[in-house]
């Protein structure tokens, strides 16, 4: 019997019980190099296998058949095969060869990108991510691939679905950097600026021994989103940030630091002039759209300042004060801010007067109580999780040996030594 056909027979016969699958795994690992030596003969063999029953064998053969780059015509054939496999495969079997499964999924991403149809990979990649994930607390290499496809396909709402998970387990630092960076961009696309700030903050403050391009790009967006969200930006990073980031990030983002300084003056003309002078730089960084939102946010910020001073103001006065071109422009900004919940006001269309109001929320509705309660429960669960992790780390042999070497042999703070003796 031909070796490949013999392998197919073994796959079909050893895919039922856990012991058989374990034995099959060993056989497939031994045959892997021979499978890769002749990938052109492998695709027809897949028709002899059921991806739901023979997932492990199907995975090895499929992955070996995809080792070389393909043309658009070949991608049109292989993409449906990969998506059907991801949909039907057994999670228990593919987890035995996670590197192979990740390789197949990354090939899917590359091929749908080649076909200029990233949306075709969004749903399969989400399915693959969930099948590979042992728990929702674990970050996989497919998280960033999924978010990238969502960005390319502009499926921002779909991308938000995995950003709601609390991640506690990370294998590779690069996966965390990309997950937070792409996740921040997804949130920016949906104008969820608080969540975007959190994710970009994680990139900027994550441990790093050398500065990387992901952190630099994240810092640029972090500056812009900070201005949009808070109307200010501080170049001081938290103490837990790496020394590499604290020393070097600002040097790579000088135009953005200067933009923040110009924003801080509150002078819209100066800000617009600076943006105009540096348009090419912001455009080359693919941040020009976000920079324009920064400029727009200054108008909003100046309008918000008026609410702290005036109870009633005409649209003409608002336009003059915040340097808008016309009362109509002021009206559009005020209406948008009311809709977004950024201010509370009413507009009298007859005389063009704006009346600023207090926040109507009394914090005693059923919905608000449920929201507060769910937030408290989430914080309590997070506290318990952190306590468990702290206990695990404090008992970890590697941590204790490292901490022991760095600590002074005698630490008098650990002893209750009296400073005076009464005789």
pLDDT tens for each residue of 315-344: 999 998 888 888 898 899 899 889 888 889
Helix extents (H) in 2-140: 3-13, 18-36, 55-65, 72-88, 91-94, 98-114, 119-132
How do strand 353-356 and strand 345-348 relate by DSSP bridges? antiparallel
pLDDT at residue number 171: 87
Q: Which contiguous run of DSSP H or E holds residue 313?
A: strand 312-314
Q: Which DSSP string corresponds to 396-416?
A: -HHHHHHHHHHS-S--GGGS-
pLDDT at residue number 38: 80
Instruction: Check pLDDT > 60 for residue 408.
Output: no
- Span between the terminal Cα atoms of the chain, in Å: 97
Reported as a pLDDT band with limits 50, 70 and 90, residue 309 is confident
**194-216 pLDDT per residue, tens:** 999 999 999 999 999 999 999 99
Reported as a pLDDT band with limits 50, 70 and 90, residue 406 is low
Q: Which residues pair with 354 in a beta bridge?
A: 313, 347
Q: How many CA atoms lie within 13 A of 139 on its CB side?
A: 21
- φ/ψ (deg, to 5) at 263: -60, -40
Running DSSP on this structure, what letter comes out for residue 5?
Answer: H
pLDDT at residue number 421: 43
pLDDT at residue number 417: 47
Give the Å distances, CA to CA, from 106 to 300, 325, 378: 42, 50, 34
Q: Which residues pair with 314 in a beta bridge?
A: 353
Contact 142, 128 (CB under 8 A): yes
Reported as a pLDDT band with limits 50, 70 and 90, residue 423 is very low
pLDDT at residue number 147: 97
For the full predicted model, state whether its pTM sits above 0.75: yes
- Rounded mean pLDDT of 226-244? 92
Helix %, strand %, coil % for the chain, to 5? 70, 5, 30
**129-149 pLDDT per residue, tens:** 999 999 999 999 999 999 999
Mean pLDDT of all residues in the chain? Answer: 90
- Rounded mean pLDDT of 173-186? 96
Reported as a pLDDT band with limits 50, 70 and 90, residue 387 is very high
Give the whole-angstrom CA distance, residue 78 versus residue 110: 12
Helix H, strand E, coil C: the string for 241-265 is: CCHHHHHHHHHHCHHHHHHHHHHHC
CA dihedral sign, ordered 244, 226, 167, 158? negative
Contact 180, 199 (CB under 8 A): yes
- φ/ψ (deg, to 5) at 314: -80, 155
**30-88 pLDDT per residue, tens:** 999 888 888 888 888 899 999 999 999 999 999 999 988 889 999 999 999 999 999 99
Whole-number percent of the chain with pLDDT over 90: 62
Angle between helices 18-36 and 3-13 (to 10 degrees): 160
Give the whole-angstrom CA distance, residue 50 versus residue 420: 81
């Amino acid at each position: 019997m031909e070796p490949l056909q013999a392998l197919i027979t073994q796959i079909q016969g050893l895919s039922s019980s856990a012991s058989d699958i374990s034995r099959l795994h060993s056989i497939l690992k031994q045959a892997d190099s021979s499978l890769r030596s002749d990938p052109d003969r492998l695709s027809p063999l897949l028709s002899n296998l059921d991806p739901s029953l023979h997932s492990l064998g199907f995975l090895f053969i499929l992955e070996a058949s995809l080792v070389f780059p393909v043309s658009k015509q070949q991608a049109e054939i292989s993409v449906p095969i990969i998506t059907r496999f991801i949909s039907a495969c057994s999670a228990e079997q593919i987890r035995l060869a996670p590197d192979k499964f990740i390789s197949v999924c990354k090939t899917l991403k590359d091929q749908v990108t080649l076909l200029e149809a990233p949306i075709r990979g969004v749903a399969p990649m989400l399915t693959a991510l969930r099948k590979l994930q042992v728990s929702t607390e674990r970050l996989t290499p497919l998280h960033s691939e999924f978010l990238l496809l969502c960005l390319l396909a502009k499926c921002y709402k779909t991308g938000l679905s995995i950003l709601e998970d609390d991640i506690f387990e990370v294998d590779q630092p690069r996966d965390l950097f990309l997950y937070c960076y792409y996740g921040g961009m997804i949130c920016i696309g949906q104008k969820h600026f608080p969540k975007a700030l959190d994710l970009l903050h994680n990139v900027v403050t994550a441990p790093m021994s050398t500065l990387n391009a992901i952190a630099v790009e994240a810092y640029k967006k972090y500056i812009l989103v900070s201005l949009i969200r808070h109307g200010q930006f501080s170049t001081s990073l938290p103490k837990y940030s790496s020394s590499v980031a604290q020393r070097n990030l600002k040097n790579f983002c000088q135009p953005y630091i200067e933009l923040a300084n110009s924003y801080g003056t509150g002078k819209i003309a100066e800000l617009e002039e600076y943006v105009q002078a540096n348009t090419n730089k912001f455009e080359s960084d693919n941040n020009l759209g976000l920079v324009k939102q920064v400029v727009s946010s200054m108008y909003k910020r100046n309008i918000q300042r008026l609410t702290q001073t005036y109870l009633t103001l005409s649209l003409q006065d608002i336009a003059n004060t915040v340097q808008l071109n016309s009362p109509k422009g002021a009206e559009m900004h005020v209406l948008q801010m009311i809709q977004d919940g950024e201010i509370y006001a009413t507009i009298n269309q007859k005389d063009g007067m704006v009346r600023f109001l207090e926040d109507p929320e009394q914090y005693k509705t059923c919905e608000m109580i449920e929201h507060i309660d769910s937030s408290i429960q989430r914080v309590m669960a997070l506290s318990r999780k952190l306590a468990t992790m702290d206990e695990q780390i404090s008992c970890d042999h590697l941590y204790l040996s490292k901490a022991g070497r760095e600590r002074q042999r005698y630490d008098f703070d650990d002893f209750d030594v009296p400073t005076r003796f009464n005789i």
